[in-house]
Amino acid sequence: MISDLKGKHFLSCDFWTKPELDIAFDTAFDLKEKFKNETPTRYLQDKTLFMIFFEQSTRTRNSMEAGMTQLGGHAHDLTADKMQISHGEAPKDTAIILSRMGHGIASRNCFYGVGSEYLKEMAAYSKKPVMSLQDDIYHPFQGLADLMTIFEHFGKNTKGLKVTVSWAYADTHSKPLSVPQTQILLFPRYGIDVTVAHPKEFPLTKSIVDKALKNAEEGGGSLKFTNNMDEAFEGAQIVIPKNWGGFGYYGVNEYLSNEDACKKEMKSNLEKYKSWICDEKRIKLADKNVKLMHALPADRGHEVTDEILDNPEISIVFDEAENRLHTAKSIMALTM
């Protein structure tokens, strides 16, 4: 595949222009159709992608690895503990070496105050495209899959579409801010009206919110906030109930200098909001044809009830998950 985007890093959807994103979506739809028809798409014949995972992954790991195979290349599934990273090797050195050995580098590093900077340093020294598989600020591949799924169910003219991104209770771990932050940055660029609901102790990062408001102004969408989940669900055409940690409540320096105390306070705050769940009562506040989206894995019975998540008339989470494959293939084919 010949592309003007060859060599371009993919660290955030926000770092790509709207015309560039449109090319990525068109390519993803084409690849999805070819996948359905079992038409070969060996655009990356004999090319190598190095994937470095600092955390667990299901959809991201498998969409990238399967995608590389389907594009004719190979993905190395690497973990930091199996590399010299565990002995302190700098991201600069890792990037220089891997970019001389292969054709792309992708990494997931969600450590708060660390992940995005790690990826930026790799991108600064890599001769090949570096892709974020999620960090503490952004999750660009998830954002692409989300918007592709919206296009499939609502059409590509999304002006005025009402989407609610709501914090929801979950007790598995302190989840990154990256998914909702990517959504508020991306969706309004396509004219979507986004409402974000969250308890006051669980805000998003102020600098990201400020940038998202500018994106909304330029893209013709809107962005508003509320501390009331019911209010946010009223009239929504898409609801996205998703937990995130209270990292935005602290400055990065404050968090990194007193991580244990901040985590303890986050856990204490979390227990106040067990009622923040997407259930039958709340879904009835939304539009009669409302759709549920979620990046998965969903914390069943906490973020959302089974009756909503498993309802084929409402839930489009598995369409969303499948589109992780096609959007991943699109970015790799265009940049590698």
Rounded to the nearest 10°, the torsion over CA 257, 263, 268, 272 is: 110
For the chain, which domains are there?
13-139+323-335 (3.40.50.1370), 142-321 (3.40.50.1370)
173 pLDDT more than 80: no
For residue 2, how far is the Cα from the chain centroid? 26
pLDDT tens, 278-291? 999 999 999 999 99
- Separation between Cα atoms, residue 204 and residue 294, nearest integer Å: 18
**Nearest residue to 146 (alpha-carbon basis) of 5, 259, 294:** 294
The pLDDT confidence band at residue 143, using thresholds 50, 70 and 90, is very high
Q: What is the DSSP string of 214-250?
A: HHHHHHT-EEEEES-HHHHHTT-SEEEE----GGGGS
pLDDT tens, 246-271? 999 998 999 999 999 999 999 999 99
3 pLDDT more than 90: no
- pLDDT at position 1: 77
pLDDT tens, 196-237? 999 999 999 999 999 999 999 999 999 999 999 999 999 999
Q: What is the percent of the chain with per-residue pLDDT over 70, rounded to a whole number? A: 100
pLDDT tens, 54-65? 988 899 999 999
Q: Judge contact between 164 and 226, C-beta under 8 A.
A: no
114 pLDDT more than 90: yes
pTM of the model: 0.95
243 pLDDT more than 80: yes
pLDDT tens, 311-320? 999 999 999 9
Give the mean model confidence (pLDDT) for residues 112-116: 95
146 pLDDT more than 90: yes
**Nearest residue to 241 (alpha-carbon basis) of 252, 232, 250:** 232
Enumerate the β-bridge partners of residue 225.
Answer: 196
- Separation between Cα atoms, residue 284 and residue 13, nearest integer Å: 32
pLDDT tens, 7-52? 999 999 999 999 999 999 999 999 999 999 999 999 999 999 999 9
- Separation between Cα atoms, residue 59 and residue 36, nearest integer Å: 19
In this structure, the chain runs to a length of 336
The pLDDT confidence band at residue 165, using thresholds 50, 70 and 90, is very high
Output the average pLDDT for the chain: 96
What is the CB neighbour count within 10 angstroms for residue 36? 9
- pLDDT at position 85: 84
**Nearest residue to 98 (alpha-carbon basis) of 131, 69, 71:** 131
Give the mean model confidence (pLDDT) for residues 139-153: 98
Q: Where are the alpha helices (DSSP H) in 239-292?
A: 252-257, 259-270, 280-283
- pLDDT at position 79: 85
Dihedral sign (CA 30, 32, 34, 39) = positive
User: What H or E segment, with its residue span, contains residue 30?
Assistant: helix 18-36
